């Protein structure tokens, strides 16, 4: 056996051993969390905490934004509920203004119009500092939450030791393409395996942005750190959900997962946007993994295994794949052991997922393996080599007319402010001057 074959065999064997231990522990802890933890009784409205829902939006389509706000308006929560919609300098503001007009008539809704795009994180902070609720729920503008999400998350947050809690994510456009179907299954696995297992230790490592609730008292104590996050001296303005979760854990709070609080979010239906999203997420994961390493001893052995499995595992898999391909190219011999091992591990994972989800479609998740091997692994490698890059990759406008319009909004704030006052129908609308960031 030549050196390439030996390296590929050893790497895939180590990967298989690590994955077997990690995924087995993950499945065991995730299954332990299947039993409902929330009580059936809901306290009277007078003793329920007040909740502020924050919806930052940037160039969202009117249909998607309207669906998001309609789902929020339908919430069955009997406590006090306020909603803060922050338009982050959208270039399509004229198109979405009718949506703002419609919901501004609801006394629970407050519309905040930024003069220019300042980034999702700063848009969130603008609303957090204006709101007063006991709990803060972040909802993405392309996400629709079930009618009982606020109630279920607020019930979970009754424990003062919990600083943050997230719901279960699904793909609202699951049936659009083969890719959206795969992403929907990917979300199920990320929530009901990864997050569910982490929740057994009160340490969900990332309360996902589309639907995450925070305790205001904890949030305010961390707000300055959250706003001024730097990486290698540069502002870091993506991965806000993971960074805020790590800050919560650093402050000694627990972070939880509530599987029956369902939120449906729009996912990429084409490979290009999907890979750009994965690149951004990979950079965020690597950055905040470094930040959280010192926390691991206090979070338990499983969380250490979780971090090792998620970061060392892909490196071993990439090494095995590269040496296997090199063996095929230079020696014209097929790396059968590597290929069979990967195929076997894929089928075992898909069968376990199909059994746990009681859904045979998870057998089709095996199609995600070639995407992971030949697209996602290179994306992660590139992310590791470009950690200092804070470009969102998906927030830029490519339409010259849109860019010209965005400049008008930024450079002519008086016109925008006057337009807001003329409509008269947007309740408490305002324009706030904020510092520019490199996230445009």
pLDDT in tens, 337-379: 999 999 999 999 999 999 999 999 999 999 999 999 999 999 9
Residue 23 in tokens? 């995924």
- Interatomic CA distance for residues 254 and 367, integer angstroms: 35
- Interatomic CA distance for residues 68 and 65, integer angstroms: 5
In this structure, what DSSP letter does residue 34 have? T
pLDDT score of 46? 62
Q: 239 — phi, psi (to 5°)?
A: 65, 30
Radius of gyration of the chain (CA): 23
Q: With contact defined as beta carbons under 8 Å apart, do 122 and 434 qualify?
A: yes
- Interatomic CA distance for residues 49 and 134, integer angstroms: 6
pLDDT in tens, 286-340: 988 888 899 999 998 999 999 999 999 999 999 999 999 999 999 999 999 999 9
- First-to-last alpha carbon distance for the chain, in angstroms, is 53
- Interatomic CA distance for residues 422 and 142, integer angstroms: 28
Residue 39 in tokens? 């009580």
pLDDT score of 367? 96
**Helix (H), strand (E) at residue 152:** helix 149-156
pTM attached to this predicted model: 0.86
Handedness of CA 397, 398, 402, 407 (dihedral sign): positive
Looking from the CA of 403 toward its CB, the CA atoms found within 13 Å total 7
Q: With contact defined as beta carbons under 8 Å apart, do 109 and 24 qualify?
A: no
Q: With contact defined as beta carbons under 8 Å apart, do 17 and 30 qualify?
A: no
Instruction: List the chain residues with pLDDT less than 70.
Output: 1, 32-46, 390-440
Neighbours of 399 (CB within 10 A): 12
Transcribe 155-200 into DSSP letters.
HHTTSTTEEEEEEEEEETTGGG-HHHHHHHHHHHHIIIIIIHHHHT
- Interatomic CA distance for residues 331 and 329, integer angstroms: 6
Domains of the chain, each with CATH number or no CATH: 52-270 (3.90.550.10)
> Residue 233 region, left (φ>0) first, then alpha (ψ -120 to 50), else beta?
left
Cα→Cα distances 77→135, 340, 343, 353, Å: 13, 51, 47, 33
pLDDT score of 2? 87
- Interatomic CA distance for residues 305 and 313, integer angstroms: 11
- Cα angle for residues 253, 254, 260 (degrees, 5° grid): 140
Residue 213 in tokens? 């609730």
Closest CA to 253 of 336, 324, 165: 165
Q: What is the crossing angle of helices 336-357 and 301-331, to 10°?
A: 140
- Interatomic CA distance for residues 191 and 193, integer angstroms: 6
- Interatomic CA distance for residues 321 and 338, integer angstroms: 8
Residue 188 in tokens? 């199920």
Residue 415 in tokens? 């016109």
């Amino acid at each position: 056996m030549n050196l390439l074959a030996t390296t590929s065999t050893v790497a895939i064997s180590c990967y298989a051993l690590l994955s077997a231990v990690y995924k087995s522990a993950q499945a065991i802890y995730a299954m332990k969390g299947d039993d409902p933890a929330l009580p059936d009784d809901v306290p009277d409205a007078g003793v329920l905490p007040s909740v502020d829902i924050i919806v930052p939006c940037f160039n969202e389509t009117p249909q998607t934004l309207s669906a998001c706000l309609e789902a929020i308006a339908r919430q069955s929560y009997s406590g006090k509920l306020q909603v803060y919609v922050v338009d982050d300098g959208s270039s399509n503001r004229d198109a979405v203004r009718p949506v703002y007009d419609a919901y501004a008539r609801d006394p629970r809704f407050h519309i905040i119009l930024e003069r220019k795009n300042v980034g999702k994180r700063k848009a969130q902070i603008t609303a957090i500092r204006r709101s007063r609720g006991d709990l803060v729920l972040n909802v993405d503008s392309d996400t629709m939450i079930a009618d009982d999400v606020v109630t279920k998350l607020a019930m979970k947050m009754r424990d003062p030791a919990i600083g943050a809690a997230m719901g279960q994510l699904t793909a609202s456009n699951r049936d659009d393409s083969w890719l959206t179907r795969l992403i929907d299954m990917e979300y199920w696995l990320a929530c009901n395996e990864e997050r569910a297992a982490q929740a057994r230790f009160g340490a969900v490592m990332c309360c996902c942005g589309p639907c995450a609730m925070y305790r205001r008292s904890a949030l305010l104590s961390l707000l300055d750190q959250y706003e001024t996050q730097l990486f290698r001296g540069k502002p870091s303005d993506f991965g806000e959900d993971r960074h805020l979760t790590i800050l919560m854990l650093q402050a000694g709070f627990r972070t939880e997962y509530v599987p029956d609080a369902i939120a449906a979010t729009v996912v990429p239906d084409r490979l290009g946007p999907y890979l750009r999203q994965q690149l951004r997420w990979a950079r965020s994961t690597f950055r905040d993994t470094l930040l959280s390493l010192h926390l691991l001893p206090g979070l338990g052995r499983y969380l250490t295994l979780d971090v090792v499995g998620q970061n060392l595992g892909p490196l071993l898999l990439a090494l095995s794949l590269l040496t296997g391909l090199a063996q095929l190219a230079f020696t014209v011999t097929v790396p059968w052991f590597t290929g069979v091992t990967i195929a076997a591990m894929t089928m075992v994972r898909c069968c376990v997922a199909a059994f746990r989800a009681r859904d045979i479609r998870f057998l089709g998740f095996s199609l995600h393996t070639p995407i992971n091997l030949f697209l996602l692994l290179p994306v992660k490698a590139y992310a590791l080599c470009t950690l200092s890059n804070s470009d969102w990759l998906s927030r830029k406008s490519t339409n010259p007319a849109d860019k010209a319009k965005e400049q008008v909004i930024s450079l002519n704030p008086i016109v925008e402010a006057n337009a807001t006052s003329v409509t008269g129908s947007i309740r408490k609308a305002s324009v706030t001057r904020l510092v520019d960031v490199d996230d445009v």
